[in-house]
A and B are shown apart, each in its own frame.
Chain A
Amino acid sequence: MSFQPAEWRRHFPLLANHPELHYLDNAATGQLCEKAFDAVTLHELTQRANVLRGTYRLAELADAAYENARRQAATYLNAASPDEVVFVSGTTAAINLVAHAFGEGLKTGDEVVLSLAEHHSNLVPWQMLRERRGVALRFLPLAPDGRLDLSRLDAPISPRCKLVAVTHASNVTGAVTDLAPIVAAARAVGARVLVDGAQAVQHGPVDVQALDVDFYAFSGHKAFGPTGVGVLWGRSEALQALPPFLGGGGMIGRVTPEGSSWAMPPRRFEAGTPPIAQAIGLGAALDWLRAQPWPAMQAHTAGLAQRLIAELAVLAGPTFIGPRDLKQRLPIVAFNLADIHPHDVCQVLDAHHVAVRGGHHCAQPLMDRFGVAGAVRASFAPYNSEADVDALLEGLKDALRKLT
């Protein structure tokens, strides 16, 4: 299958309706693909009912669509079973779920290992667990280029370690984590591994069985699906070992005034009415994404990032955060322009119809490691083109003219 960015862009209604927009904030939110939009619309118009409760035909249609979305997500992740897919509201909710449910079994002296590259979503829940359970947090350091320094894994991942929770790819540097040695080190001490996949899944299907991890979390809105939905994938035996996080309808086996028993996963972790339409939209998005020509699309977005990195070096003053080479790197480019504050750069770019994010990107420990308060970040998706890079560079030159 051939790949043309302009053709791909036509599958995204907002972009099709706004040809002037240079949308480069894909690491925060990808645009909604028409397959997801159509699936949500079809569901709301023809199948809207609660799931896993009704015996009438409409509810059965909703059940079937919801469980089909679970199968679609499982297929995208190459999960062993759809029952390993828990629908949640997003990556943050998925990690909080594990921090509470897995954290219930931890005690003072146990350790959770993170890295300095983590998004706050994979840091703050563990800090809160530390407050609740007295566990210790240890951190994998960063190499100067922003990659995780994996040279001495045996120091932080000790026999006291019960869980390693790391990003699959940094939302700031784009560096992809080499998970294999981390998984090996965790297995050697009997620890579980959770991977924050929020930045990874939108750049191609993920094989959780090949990664050999225990938990994998991602968000629908970054994978060209709806907002308000995400996935916690958990290996069957890992999920079955967890108590529920939230209590309520749908997650029980039997309830009496004296107590309750729990449903099997995934329902044990889907208390209350789940994000039904959003899950159906996400399933449609993932099903469509799975069939795309990923090698060509990855080469395209890597080329855009490579060009931007090269052109930034020519502009006066940019400082760059992250690996300069494209090896194990996603098309996410973070930088500072002279001494101009990232928000001021972004505001000037907006006048050029260039949408990028500036700030600390919910990664303040990483910013501290690089000695900056924030950065401008351009993040590419396959619908981006050379014209988007052109507009970004013109805007940056304008910011230099205006603000220095």
Chain B
Amino acid sequence: MSDDPYQQAILDLARSADGAGRLAAPDGLASGDSPLCGDRVRMEVTLQGGRIDALAHEVKGCLLCRAAAAAIGRRAAGLDAAQLAALRGEVAALLAGQVPTAPSWPELKCFEPVRPHRNRHGCVLLPFDTLAAALDSAQGA
């Protein structure tokens, strides 16, 4: 496996910017900051029966952060809080070196080359953590 994180798959995922934008009337929202690099992610969600119905994100961050947000934008609708927490755990495990036999989302595989670059793991995880906070905010509303 190459340890160059800038493989074509991750470049394409980031450039897709799936889910980028704002929702007209979000049920919850959250902003997340990376203290290391100053990256900022904003996530907005609407819920239906405790599950994400729609989401939108704004990312002022690096390519890895934008790729993770795009994966979320593409796949996270329909998840509830527990499923999102499990998915976040799967991403963290992947970055720590545990390769899932069948990743929940095919996009997750493109983050494997980030593994040796520990200071960049937070870039990938920030959108997942911010989405969880947005979900909390919606459920607390």
Interfacial residues, chain A to chain B (CB-CB below 8 A): 340-344, 347-348, 351, 358-360, 364, 367, 373-374, 402-403
Contact = CB atoms under 8 A, between A and B. Distances in A.
A374 B6 contact: no
B5 A373 contact: no
Contacts of A348: 6
A341 B6 contact: no
Contacts of B103: none
Contact of B6 (A342, A347, A360, A367): A347
Interface stretch (B19-27, B32-40, B82-90, B92-100): B32-40
A358 B38 CA distance: 10
B38 A374 contact: yes
Given A351-B4, A373-B60, A373-B61, 17 more contacts: A341-B39, A341-B62, A342-B37, A343-B37, A343-B62, A343-B64, A343-B120, A344-B6, A344-B64, A347-B5, A347-B6, A347-B117, A358-B37, A359-B38, A360-B38, A364-B38, A374-B37
Contact of B39 (A340, A364, A373): A373
A344 B63 contact: yes
A348 B64 CA distance: 13
A343 B123 CA distance: 10
Given A343-B62, A347-B120, A402 B36 contact: no
A373 B38 contact: yes
B6 A373 contact: no
A343 B121 CA distance: 12
A342 B60 CA distance: 12
B77 interface: no
B53 to A, nearest CB: 31
A403 B40 CA distance: 20
B11 A403 contact: yes
Chain B: number of interface residues, binned into ranges:
10 to 19
Nearest to A373: B38
Contacts of B37: 342-343, 358-360, 373-374
Contact of A341 (B11, B63, B117): B63
Interface centre among A343, A348, A359, A402 (most CB of B within 10 A): A343
B4 to A, nearest CB: 7
A373 B117 contact: no
Given A347-B6, A347-B120, A367 B38 contact: yes
A359 B36 contact: yes
Contacts, number: 42
Contacts of B120: 343, 347
Given A343-B123, A344-B62, A347-B117, A373 B4 contact: no
Contacts of A344: 6, 62-64
A7 B41 CA distance: 47
Contacts of A340: 63
Nearest to B123: A343
A73 B12 CA distance: 54
11 contacts: A340-B63, A341-B61, A341-B63, A343-B120, A347-B6, A347-B117, A358-B37, A359-B37, A373-B38, A373-B40, A402-B6
B123 to A, nearest CB: 7
Contacts of A347: 5-6, 117, 120
A373 B38 CA distance: 6
- Which 7 A-B pairs have CB atoms at the shortest separation, nearest pair first? A341-B62, A360-B38, A359-B37, A343-B62, A373-B38, A344-B63, A344-B62
Contacts of B64: 343-344
A318 B81 CA distance: 42
Nearest to A360: B38
Contacts of A367: 38
Nearest to B65: A341
Interface centre among A341, A359, A402 (most CB of B within 10 A): A341
A403 B6 contact: yes
A27 to B, nearest CB: 16
